């Protein structure tokens, strides 16, 4: 099953955005041309994100909306209820993509149960597509082999110049899964990196734009988060930057396995 090139190449992440900040961020992003909006039930902003989408005046079919089910709601009935709740909060009939936010800690809930439930939710019309997030190579393989796993389209993982995540990225892409990279700017750390600044100067760009261009060059969807329209617009411009093979290699050497999202319930990561 061909599962690549389903998501827009760049979207807006909304992690840590609440209330009016979330509404304003999504509103400005949509005005600038963003068409992928990424939220999650755990973010606590689905109502604000949904309101911005509805009030944007942009046809619903032109906006790709992703939400996620938190790890404490992975039992079959609770997962279905979680997505029903997300759609109500968003004010949408269905989301375009529903993800398992994190795999069940210590495999407390069998993966077959929640992948099956996620696919059932898709069948019920709660989501057009389904996927996973923060899954390791072994977990990706287990998910793909589970009933309904053949419907998975993406694995959303942390990717930035300091955490290239090569093994997982290559494995997912080899399996036909699109990779979505979150925190592509390493929470702003890219701005002070000398190599990124040098390459940025050569392109009359910013280090953030270079970091995004590098992730994009690996056929990874990026979802940077920003509340400032000027930053959102600059991020979009990264789509037009083409890095040379030598520049891509230089940036690749910045990888030190520096993981930002690493809660105590995270899986045993692939090194």
Catalytic residues: 43
C-alpha–C-alpha distance, residues 117 and 25, integer Å? 32
Token pair for 242: 């083409």
- Residue whose tokens read 């079959």: 76
Handedness of CA 68, 70, 71, 73 (dihedral sign): negative
Contacts of 211 (CB under 8 A, 6+ apart): 160, 161, 184, 185, 186, 190, 196, 251
Which parts of the chain fold into alpha helices (H)? 19-32, 46-55, 76-90, 111-123, 137-145, 166-174, 194-203, 207-217, 229-237, 245-252
C-alpha–C-alpha distance, residues 77 and 105, integer Å? 18
Size of the chain, expressed as the number of residues it contains: 271
Q: Is 101 within any annotated ligand binding site?
A: yes
- Using DSSP's 3-state secondary structure scheme, residue 6 falls into coil
**DSSP state letter for 204:** T
- Using DSSP's 3-state secondary structure scheme, residue 135 falls into coil
Contacts of 187 (CB under 8 A, 6+ apart): 260
C-alpha–C-alpha distance, residues 73 and 6, integer Å? 26
- Using DSSP's 3-state secondary structure scheme, residue 54 falls into helix
Annotation: binding site: 101
Residue ranges for the known binding site for substrate are 101
């Amino acid at each position: 099953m061909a599962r690549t090139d389903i998501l827009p190449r760049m979207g807006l992440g909304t992690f840590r955005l609440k209330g009016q900040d979330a509404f304003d961020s999504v509103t400005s992003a949509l005005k600038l041309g963003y068409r992928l909006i990424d939220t999650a039930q755990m973010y606590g902003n689905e109502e604000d994100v949904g309101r911005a989408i509805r009030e944007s005046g942009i046809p619903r079919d032109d906006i790709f909306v992703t939400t996620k089910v938190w790890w404490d709601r992975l039992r079959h009935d609770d997962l279905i209820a979680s997505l029903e709740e997300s759609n109500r909060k968003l004010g949408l009939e269905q989301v375009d993509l529903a993800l398992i936010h994190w795999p069940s800690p210590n495999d407390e809930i069998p993966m077959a149960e929640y992948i099956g439930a996620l696919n059932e939710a898709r069948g019920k019309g709660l989501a057009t597509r389904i996927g996973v997030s923060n899954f390791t190579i072994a977990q990706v393989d287990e998910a793909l082999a589970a009933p309904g796993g053949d419907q998975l389209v993406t694995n959303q993982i942390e990717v930035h110049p300091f955490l290239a995540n090569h093994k997982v990225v290559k494995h997912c892409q080899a399996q036909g899964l699109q990779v979505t990279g979150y925190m592509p700017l390493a929470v702003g750390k890219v701005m002070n990196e000398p190599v990124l600044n040098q390459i940025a100067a050569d392109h009359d760009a910013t280090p953030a734009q270079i970091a995004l261009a590098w992730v994009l060059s690996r056929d990874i969807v990026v979802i940077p988060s920003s509340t400032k329209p000027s930053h959102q617009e600059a991020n979009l411009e990264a789509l037009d930057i083409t890095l040379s093979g030598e520049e891509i290699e230089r940036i690749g050497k910045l990888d030190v396995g520096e993981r930002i999202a690493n809660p105590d319930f995270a899986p045993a990561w692939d090194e």
